């Protein structure tokens, strides 16, 4: 006798709607989404190691602030990763397959290079350290290329929104290892041991790579490197014509430009209006980190209900409104509650909701045959405002003052929103491009 026969009352109480809902959620939380969680963590760890652990190590070693600032230049592979993405689309490494082979290679290499970096002497081997930092950035950007391609190919169309939210959250969670665990351990342990401990957190992602399934191949892979370079761009342009292709590129460039500009000098802004560094760290950064995680989680669930199109509308409005919180703070001055509220809402709406929606949109906009190259192009474009346009923020603030600067940032959010009727119509629930 089956369980259903043994308990007819319980079976009667289970409505078709409840059963369908249970099946619905089980389809989303599966081995594929768990793998994406591990890979998102592996993707974020190297970058945050360079941002937090490496900078603290060099600063403690006596490196002056000018030399320390120059180390940001060696991380440019994150902006130009689309240049070698076709190579990773074309060739497979070892027996694991085209995606898992590259993931395993980059993850193992990152474990070794991050660990070895801490064994160098900043006083005597600074050029070698610069080379090591560049190599970490190159390997990390390459890992991002193949992880983004894997996520796009392994998840079904209706899972792309949740997958984007999972990877955004896991990416942020990885920051805790170098910024919290690593810096705490550095107070009582030598830097060499700290770097190897942080590097060891690459190994769970490597194990997951070895256990995961290789995505299905959509059509024949490129026959040669020329096809790997030409065909992804040709397909993207020919899909809906030059006009639509340029519209998608412009949208990716502009969707987060307003909030990206508004936070480019956020610490400087908080200091200028009268907050102390302790207040900024406790009220702003701690609140912002948790708010960003909450936004990513809510964004994934919300996108399941709304669909990617409507999520771009709703999340875009929220991340634009969040900029006005900074304008309000510029008028009010150093109010701790307003600081926490403004920074927390910005992190929730922008780093959580907006980032998840944009990642889901870029994933959907790729052809499964050329995922690595096309997604690398989109993600590189999304990094352009942060890399280049934000460099002009200081000049704008000098001319306008903080309040009007944030009003300018708010206005900068509108061009992308005006593209949405063509890019992602509100009444179109089809999740395919």
> What DSSP assignment string belongs to 177-226?
IIIIIIHHHTTTS-HHHHHHHHHHTTHHHHHHHHHSPPPPP-SPPPSSHH
Residue 274 domain-assigned (yes or no): yes
CB-based contacts of 149, cutoff 8 Å, min separation 6 = 88, 89, 99, 371, 372, 375
Same domain flag for 173 and 277: no
What pLDDT shows up at residue 26?
Answer: 54
The span from the CA of 345 to the CA of 21, in Å, is 31
Same domain flag for 265 and 383: yes
Same domain flag for 181 and 291: no
Residue 175 domain-assigned (yes or no): yes
Residue 14 domain-assigned (yes or no): no
* ∠ Cα 271 273 275 (to 5°): 50
Same domain flag for 398 and 286: yes
CB 360 within 8 A of CB 161: yes
Residue 12 domain-assigned (yes or no): no
Question: Which runs of consecutive H residues, i.e. helices, occur in 188-346?
Answer: 191-200, 203-211, 225-254, 257-262, 266-272, 277-279, 286-306, 308-332, 336-346
Nearest by Cα to 195 from 208, 207, 181, 209: 181
**What does the pLDDT profile of the chain (433 residues) look like in tens digits?**
333 344 434 333 444 444 444 444 455 567 788 888 899 999 999 988 887 788 778 877 776 655 665 566 666 788 788 888 888 887 888 888 888 999 999 999 999 999 999 999 888 888 898 899 899 999 999 999 999 888 888 887 777 777 888 888 888 788 878 877 887 888 888 999 999 999 999 999 999 999 988 887 665 666 766 777 788 888 888 888 898 999 999 999 899 989 888 877 776 788 788 887 667 766 655 677 778 778 777 877 788 788 889 999 999 999 999 999 999 999 998 888 898 899 889 888 887 888 888 988 888 888 877 777 888 888 887 777 666 665 677 788 888 999 999 999 999 999 999 999 998 998 875 444 3
Same domain flag for 199 and 235: no
Can you give the CATH number for the domain in which 143 is found?
1.20.1250.20
Same domain flag for 178 and 63: yes
Same domain flag for 245 and 213: no
Domain count, the chain: 2
Same domain flag for 356 and 402: yes
Same domain flag for 102 and 79: yes
Nearest by Cα to 298 from 347, 353, 259: 353
Domain enclosing residue 61, as ranges: 26-217
Q: What is the pTM of this model?
A: 0.71
- Given 217, 236, 256, the domain boundary residue is 217
What pLDDT shows up at residue 6?
Answer: 40
- Given 217, 240, 259, the domain boundary residue is 217
The span from the CA of 260 to the CA of 358, in Å, is 13
Residue 20 domain-assigned (yes or no): no
Same domain flag for 152 and 38: yes
Same domain flag for 306 and 188: no
The span from the CA of 46 to the CA of 131, in Å, is 15
Tell me the two tokens of residue 84.
């070698």
Residue 148 domain-assigned (yes or no): yes
Residue 429 domain-assigned (yes or no): no
What pLDDT shows up at residue 139?
Answer: 96
- Given 170, 189, 217, the domain boundary residue is 217
Residue 108 domain-assigned (yes or no): yes
The span from the CA of 317 to the CA of 319, in Å, is 6
Same domain flag for 209 and 234: no
Which residue's entry shows tokens 């009010």?
332
């Amino acid at each position: 006798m089956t369980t259903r026969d043994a308990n007819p009352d319980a079976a009667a109480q289970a409505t078709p709607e409840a059963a369908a809902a249970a099946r619905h959620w089980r389809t989303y939380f599966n081995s594929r989404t768990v793998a994406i969680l591990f890979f998102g963590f592996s993707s974020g760890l190297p970058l945050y190691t360079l941002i937090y652990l490496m900078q603290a190590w060099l600063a403690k070693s006596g490196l002056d602030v000018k030399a320390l600032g120059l180390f940001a230049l060696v991380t440019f592979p994150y902006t130009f990763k689309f240049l070698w993405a076709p190579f990773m689309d074309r060739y497979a490494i070892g027996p694991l397959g085209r995606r898992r082979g590259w993931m395993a290679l980059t993850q193992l290499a990152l474990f070794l290079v991050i660990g070895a970096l801490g064994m160098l002497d900043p006083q005597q081997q600074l050029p070698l350290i610069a080379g090591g930092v560049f190599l970490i950035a190159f390997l990390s950007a390459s890992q991002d290329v193949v992880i983004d391609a894997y996520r796009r190919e392994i998840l079904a169309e209706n899972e792309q929104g949740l997958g984007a939210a999972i990877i955004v959250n896991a990416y942020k969670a990885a920051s805790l290892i170098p910024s919290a665990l690593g810096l705490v351990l550095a107070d009582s342990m030598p830097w060499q041991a700290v770097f190897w401990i942080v590097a060891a957190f690459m190994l769970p992602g490597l194990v997951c790579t070895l256990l995961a399934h290789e995505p299905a191949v959509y059509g024949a892979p490129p026959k040669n490197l020329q096809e790997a370079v030409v065909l992804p761009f040709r397909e993207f342009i020919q899909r809906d014509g030059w006009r639509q292709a340029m519209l998608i590129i412009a949208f990716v460039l502009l969707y987060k430009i307003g909030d990206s500009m508004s936070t480019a000098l956020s610490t400087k802004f908080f200091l200028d209006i009268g907050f102390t560094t302790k207040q900024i760290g406790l009220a702003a950064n701690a609140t912002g980190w948790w708010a960003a995680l909450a936004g990513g989680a809510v964004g994934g669930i919300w996108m399941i209900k709304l669909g990617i199109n409507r999520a771009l509308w709703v999340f875009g409005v929220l991340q634009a409104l969040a900029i006005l919180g900074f304008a309000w703070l510029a008028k009010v001055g150093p109010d701790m509650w307003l600081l926490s509220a403004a920074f927390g809402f910005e992190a929730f709406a922008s780093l959580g909701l907006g980032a998840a929606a944009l990642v889901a949109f870029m994933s959907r906009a790729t052809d499964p045959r050329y995922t690595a190259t096309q997604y690398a192009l989109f993600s590189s474009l999304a990094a352009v405002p942060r890399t280049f346009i934000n460099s002009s923020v200081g000049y704008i603030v000098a001319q306008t003052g903080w309040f009007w600067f944030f009003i300018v940032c708010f206005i900068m959010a509108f061009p992308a929103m005006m593209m949405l009727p063509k890019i992602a119509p509100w009444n179109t629930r089809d999740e395919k491009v």
